[in-house]
Amino acid sequence: MAMLEMMYVYFDSNGDIKAISPDPVIVSDSYSVATFPLTEVKEILEGKRNPFDFYVKLTKGIAGTSYKITRKQSLEISLIRTLDNFLTEVKTMSKSADAFLLIENIVKEKKIKISLNKSVKNLLEEISDTEQETIDSFINYPSTSLFFTRKGDPYFLLHTLIFSPRELFEKETLFWDYIVDLSDSSVYTKKILDGYSYRIR
């Protein structure tokens, strides 16, 4: 009789999968863990499925608490486009002032700061119809997500941040606190505008 191989799946309070391991590992105290048969997570480990598309669903019943890996409901967006069809890494531009959208990780304060370049608003008076459409697409995008991962490893999710492009456009700068260690992290997202930059300071 073949032995059932189990995997440890670590997830946050939202159920977002943070790590999968055959052995217990040391992670943030804010993460929970459940074990699943290898067959249920094999395609994620092989890269055939994106862990961002799934979450751990917790159900409490008379028999106790059960866990299930469930596909997230996708939001169908029509008439709105992104520059990327897939998640791409946000690189660090040599000059932060050149970035249309600057993501700053202030490690000592454990804060994420997102700034929209003021020139984006100024450009609205000078740009062509095509460029106007691009900026309108950004403003009208319902919400966009930033996925903070271990440095260079898109499959080891550390933190997820969701924000409203319209709110950013109106306020120009937004702040969020976090509790995990993001001192050596990368950011992946679907870009709506060109000129994203990520820096750790």
Average the pLDDT over 76-93 and give the result. Answer: 62
Within a domain: residue 46? yes
Range of the domain at 163: 88-200
* Tens-place pLDDT, residues 88-113: 899 999 888 888 899 999 999 999 99
Nearest to 114 by CA among 134, 124, 99: 99
pLDDT for 83 beyond 60: no
Asked if residue 82 is part of any domain, the answer here is no
Residue 55 sits in the same domain as residue 29? yes
| Residue 129 falls inside a structural domain | yes
Asked if residue 13 belongs to a domain, the reply is: yes
With b for 16 or more beta-carbon neighbours within 10 A and e for fewer, the 142-181 pattern comes to eebebbbbbeeebebbbbbbeeebeebeeeeebeeebebe
Kindly report the pTM of this predicted structure.
Answer: 0.57
Number of domains into which the chain is organized: 2
Which tens digit of pLDDT belongs to each residue from 6-56?
999 999 888 888 888 888 887 778 889 999 999 999 888 877 888 888 889
Shared domain for 93 and 182, answered yes or no, is yes
